[in-house]
Amino acid sequence: MSNVSKTIILHPNDDVAIARVPIPAGYVIEEKNVTVLSDIKEGHKIALHDIAPDQPLKRYNQIIGYSSCPIKAGEHVHLQNLKMGEYGQVYDFCVDKHATPKPTEKRTFKGYKRANGKVGTRNYIGILTSVNCSATVARAIEDHFKKRGLDDFANIDGIVALPQSFGCAMDMKGDLMNIMRRTMSGYANHPNFAGILIIGLGCESNQIKDLIQVEGLNEGLMLQHMTIQETGGSQKTFDKGVEIIESMLAEANKYTREEAPASELILALECGGSDSYSGISANPALGVAVDLLVQQGGTAILAETPEIYGAEYILTRRAVSPEIGQKLVNRILWWEDYAKRCNAELNNNPSAGNKEGGLTTILEKSLGAICKAGSTNLVDVYEYAEPVEAKGLVFMDTPGYDAFACTGQIAGGSNIMCFTTGRGSAYGAKPTPCIKIASNNFLWKRQEEDMDINCGDVADGIETLESAGKRIFEMILAVASGERTKSEKFGYGSLEFVPWQPGAIM
């Protein structure tokens, strides 16, 4: 990296440069003939000229905030002198809509073709709980099969229990119940599950029989249920649960990997523990992979509504219709109202880790996060955990918290996931495999055991976004075909089923 500048200027109109590496005071940014006034951490911003108070500052050629005081050329730009400020959004629906290029070749992966036409990338048997009261029994059944082993059933990836933390003391007709049932139904119908056992206590608000009726689940050999109270106790429920799973094994093992078009992939997009590099390397590289997948006829889900706040206009400009653009705006308006009701502010979203990594405002964070969506059209907007049917780039309304957002996307049908991080999130999921993408070489060297792909060379000016994006796309196909991710090898996923809880629990 000796011949590469220590700073990154993302656009000629930008007011700030980004430090690639730690920069000492006195370093000269030659492109602008600016001397750095103090030591600057990697990923942090440096003013490229003198800035008066209350002036807009640009990064990516987009406003990321306003100066809260005079800023000198070469000065560190961060919390002490950059504020969110007031801004007004202009939603130019559909003005950037464009035709999707045709791929030069059709790509495939090897997956599990289900009777409903969906294709799985994994072949699990799942155990869901209608309420937390049955969580321990569900976990005990999973532990039994871990000890027993599945050597005689080579086509099954495992038995996974996904207990939840609630399921009772809620309004039977409220948002919380609706979201919980929709989430459970999405997992029960997920193509990465060959079979599902649902275990309840018996007296909970979330009655299994109502879940099955309301969500239209089809009972049979591969979807069964029971409650502790009806079965006669915890031990009897455990014994019966083991018996039920045993009865599913032979049928689940009949599924084998078959060639399927890449159009059957539904890719969840997630970022967590983001830093200033995320919007420079990992996120836009993932966006390149998204464009390649959409060209193949596949689907990508962008989520985390609070984390696109302030940058949603980029998506509304790419909406395929004004109606789709307005659906996204309506979700933003809901979150603004929700934040007010909770005495919170959406523009306070950046976390402590985000700020330590150089991100200052939600505008800056959102502009980086939205890069994951590539350049393709926005074809639809979905509620949390709603089944995703459209092909192309879609948006799902979720909170910014990783566990909530990932659970919703998986419930929507995501059969593979890409998760970018700059600070070092170690997240993994089941039944959907999660590809972890590092935004910088510092993270890769420190935490390689949790990362699947490194985009640090993009941040360092050594690799192009196109090259990194193609690497990500190839890994998506490989993991969809059975290659295991780092989080799968470690065992992540059984504790990461966390449905969103927006309603009242009483």
What would the pLDDT profile of 179-220 be if each residue is shown by its tens digit?
A: 999 999 999 999 999 999 999 999 999 999 999 999 999 999
Q: Reply yes or no on whether the pLDDT at 2 is more than 60.
A: no
Residues 274 and 138 in one domain: no
Q: Give the largest CA-CA distance in the chain.
A: 78
Strand partners, 112: 120
The answer to whether residue 4 scores a pLDDT higher than 90 is no
Residue 52 near residue 5, CB atoms below 8 Å: no
Measure CA 267 to chain center: 9
Tell me the C-alpha distance between 329 and 199, whole Å: 39
Q: Decide if 347 contacts 84 (C-beta within 8 A).
A: yes
Q: What is the dihedral of CA 179, 181, 187, 191, to 10 degrees?
A: -100
Number of domains in the chain: 3
Q: Is 238 part of a structural domain of the chain?
A: yes
In whole angstroms, what is the distance from residue 264 CA to residue 280 CA?
Answer: 29
- Measure the N-to-C terminal CA separation of the chain; round to a whole number of Å: 58
Q: Are residues 283 and 152 in the same domain?
A: no
pLDDT of 405 above 90: yes
CATH number reported for the structural domain that contains residue 15 in this entry: 2.30.130.110
Residues 236 and 270 in one domain: no
Same domain, 301 and 449: yes
pLDDT in the model for residue 14: 96
CB hemisphere CA count around 131 (13 angstroms): 19
- Residue position matching structure tokens 């705006």: 329
**Is 153 part of any domain?**
yes
Which sign, positive or negative, has the C-alpha torsion 421, 121, 487, 472?
negative
Is 75 found in the same domain as 144?
no
For residues 269 and 247, membership in a common domain is answered with: no
Domain final position from 252, 283, 303: 252
Measured CA to CA, the distance from residue 443 to residue 349 in angstroms comes to 23
Predicted pLDDT at 170 = 81
d(CA 115, CA 254): 12
Predicted confidence at residue 84, as pLDDT, reads 87
Contact predicate 197/241, CB 8 Å = yes
> Does residue 258 form part of some domain?
no
Q: Are strands 434-438 and 416-421 parallel, antiparallel or unpaired?
A: parallel
Residue identified by tokens 């790419």 is 318
Where does a domain end: 185, 219, 252?
252
Q: What is the mean pLDDT of residues 327-341?
A: 95
Whether 504 maps to a domain, the answer reads no
- Judge whether 503 lies within some domain: no
Boundary-marking domain end, from 219, 252, 285: 252
Residue in 45, 35, 50 with CA at minimum distance from that of residue 76: 45
| Helix ranges, 383-436 (H) | 402-411
Euclidean distance between CA atoms 35 and 47, whole angstroms: 10
Q: What is the pLDDT of residues 444-468, one digit of tens each?
A: 999 999 999 999 999 999 999 999 9
Residue 16 lies in a domain: yes
SS (H, E, C) 62-75: EEEEEECCCECCCC
Same domain? For 269 and 237 the reply is no
Residues 275 and 300 placed together within one structural domain of the fold: yes
Confirm whether 104 is domain-assigned. Answer: no
Tokens of 86: 């007031």
Query: CA-based Rg of the chain, rounded to a whole angstrom?
Result: 24
Pairing mode, strands 223-227 and 193-200: parallel
Q: In 216-286, at which residue ranges do the beta strands (DSSP E only) sit?
A: 223-227, 258-261, 266-271
Neighbour tally for 444: CB within 10 Å: 18
Alpha-helix runs per DSSP H in 253-321: 282-295, 312-317
- What the block records as the tokens of 397 is 């309304």
SS3 262: helix
Which pLDDT does position 352 carry in this prediction?
87
Q: What angle do CA 436, 45, 274 make, to 5 degrees?
A: 20
Nearest 5°: the CA angle 398, 481, 379 is 35
Domain that holds residue 75: 7-83
Contact residues for 345 (Cβ-Cβ < 8 A; gap 6+): 339
Lowest mean pLDDT among 88-92, 118-122, 309-313: 88-92
Looking at the structure, tell me whether residues 79 and 123 fall in a common domain: no
Residue pLDDT, tens place only, 228-266: 999 999 999 999 999 999 999 999 999 999 999 999 999
The least confident of 54-58, 167-171, 359-363 is 167-171
**Amino acid identity of 144?**
H
How far is 475 from 313, CA to CA, in rounded Å? 31
Domain CATH number, residue 203: 3.40.50
Sign of the CA dihedral running 479, 482, 483, 487: positive
Report the pLDDT value the prediction gives residue 317, as an integer from 0 to 100. 97
Sheet holding 434-438, edge to edge: 378-382, 392-396, 299-302, 266-271, 416-421, 434-438, 453-454
Distances (CA, A) of 281 to 8, 136, 385, 442, 459: 11, 42, 29, 13, 5
- Same-domain status, 43 and 114: no
Q: What is the pLDDT of residues 120-129, one digit of tens each?
A: 999 999 999 9
- Indicate whether 91 belongs to any domain: no
Residue 171 reports pLDDT greater than 80: no
Burial of residue 297, with CB atoms counted within 10 A of its CB: 0-12 exposed, 13-18 middle, 19 or more buried: middle
Q: Are residues 61 and 144 part of one domain?
A: no
Nearest Cα to 60, choosing from 347, 370, 376, 306? Answer: 370
Q: What is the pLDDT of residue 86?
A: 74
Asked whether residue 317 falls in the same domain as residue 450, the answer is: yes
